[in-house]
Amino acid sequence: MSEIDRLKGIMARLRDPKTGCPWDIEQDFLSIAPHTIEEAYEVADAIDKGDMQGLKEELGDLMLQVIFHSQMADEKGYFCLEDVMEGISDKLIRRHPHVFGDEIIKTSDEQEESWEKQKEQERQAKSGGKASVLDGVAITLPALTRSVKLQKRAAKIGFDWPDLDGVFDKIEEELAELKAAIGGDGDIAEESGDLLFIISNLLRKLKVDPEVALKGCNNKFIKRFSYIEEHIDVKIASLEQMDELWNDAKKIEKRIFSKNT
């Protein structure tokens, strides 16, 4: 028995209505979906930390999610794990015609373009030729990531600023509208969203992943705030004291950066 067959058997036994685990039996696609997302993030976290042992474990947890969903689908007669594996194998072959066919692709940019064309053809085929350019961008993606994917789709048919000047002008416009909303003339949440959307557009054009950029900023904030906590009791400190220590932390970071470069 292969390990994949062993894992399938374990999952089937856990889901057995008579002898299985009560918790596993009670689950459905909707209840398991949050766990699937969480496990994907934990895989990314292990990679970010360079923890290969952790990555091995987290990949196992993520694989369990695939097995779990496939088992539930098999029970209802929708599809089985073999169908899932066949589908992704066929897709990989179809989307790499330069490897499994006669098409010539020399660069990763050309491959990305070919991949997107294949995806567009698949979307059109599924919809009978009525698919929107924006169809297929998952609504469950982090909002910043989804905004970039939507913008990329629109940009491919020419709906985009030709240069950064247009984006900066739009940022100033959206910032002014947010200020007006704060003053009572508009919806603050809506205008804040517009500003975030256009900033993510700027980062897209600069080839910076907004999720990665914000993650780095979060980590930097934690590091600097921890420096403050190491030197003063933040519960009784004044803003001026904390701000001074914050600037000290920035100076230390710059010195370290200068030495490393």
Question: Structural domain boundaries of the chain?
Answer: 3-94, 133-208, 211-260
Query: The whole model's pTM is what?
Result: 0.69
Phi, psi of 141, deg, nearest 5 = -65, 155
pLDDT for 115 equals 79
pLDDT for 202 equals 96
- Do 3-94 and 133-208 fold alike per CATH? yes
CATH architecture for residues 3-94: Orthogonal Bundle (1.10)
17 DSSP 8-state letter: T
Residues of the chain with pLDDT under 50: none
Q: Angle between the 210-231 and 239-260 helix axes, to the nearest 10 degrees?
A: 120
Q: Which CATH superfamily is domain 133-208 in?
A: MazG-like (1.10.287.1080)
Using alpha carbons, list the distances in angstroms from residue 177 to 85, 183, 189, 198, 206. Answer: 49, 10, 11, 13, 24
pLDDT for 261 equals 66
